[in-house]
Structure 1
């Protein structure tokens, strides 16, 4: 049994909003099976796709699109058909869609940014966040170089989790661990958070939901509620707004660890 099949709830959980970002469909490191299983568990009024859902950069070099990636698209379309509003916020890896911003197809909207009002009245800016990344905006060659180095760590991550699964361990992200340990990565994340929080203050928002840096977090930054969805290539994380407006950070690794701890111990053989 795969770790994506660990949770099989009897019925869907009703929530107000889901936010997911940085899925990178079209790449080998996309955790599409885990994402499809996650989406299947919820009945949401609204789903925000917060950028880099389809990896246009990678698809330029060749098509990689297994059935699991189509299953994610199918799941989103099914949710839309059943009344969920799907809002696709464009990112830098799917920037080819920005020329079609403001497109509306039934319950699906394509935008460059959005405003979300929580059930408890907070105004949130929903934006991918590449606009606040100096390297992405002004040094694209460095962005592509960094992307190649990142791919290498994701390849290691894929092999590591292959063997972890074979030996009965849950999902764990090597690349996410390195982000917490490498000083330059920590500084970059901090600069990104402060820049986007400053924009929120300037525009009068109470908070922001973004993606881009593949680092899921909920915290206060400069008086603003900063919330990052994370990604579905390394950390497998999402943000969930409950019916009362509270927002929770979902982490697949934490859920799996909890499920493993709750598994009943094997009964000892009778003497």
Structure 2
């Protein structure tokens, strides 16, 4: 049964298919989340999408399972609301280097976090700007209300929207996820989404931020294939040292 559950989770969020939409949410106010990024990943045989978010002018964060194959190319669109409309606010920047966490496990989705070094620095505007990351001592407690946004599917057998959607979710006790997901880690993951409510992310939202009080605390990672909650988010505060070190290492520099 454990093996079957893992296979179902990977079928939902596998890099070879579409990633994790917003269910039970609503259209976001245009450009109210200027850190949001729309990722288009091109592999040898298909294109799929993920979410992401700008954390520095030349770096974005997303989920490691959004990397695709080794020969993938990734384009990051910033400043978008209607992703199908070439809005003047949009900036499309190729990824220079995708840097998944060195201990990312594609079987259990542990350490599901990836930095994207952009080919050039984003131009910071009212529609494009980085979001703050948590501090070491920040905590995300059960009962906190956070939000998730993305361009993912609106439900099972439903299409993706053109316009950015968002939904408010409640952080849950770790026990709510640990008995649903055998590899859940209280140290490196956050459990969010009231199981009594039909509110969650879905296919296409993987890699987007879980935002609590204006701070990116989590990254959309995985959940049940039918969209029921709670779902699992990578806990960003557990990876601050890796993020900061990676973004400052000389070998990753080179953005214009």
Per the shorter chain, which TM-score range?
A: under 0.3
TM-score where L is the length of structure 2: 0.27
Greater fraction of residues in strand = 2
TM-score where L is the length of structure 1: 0.26
Q: Specify which structure has the bigger relative contact order, considering alpha-carbon pairs within 8 angstroms and separated by 6 or more residues.
A: 2
Largest Rg, 1 or 2? 1
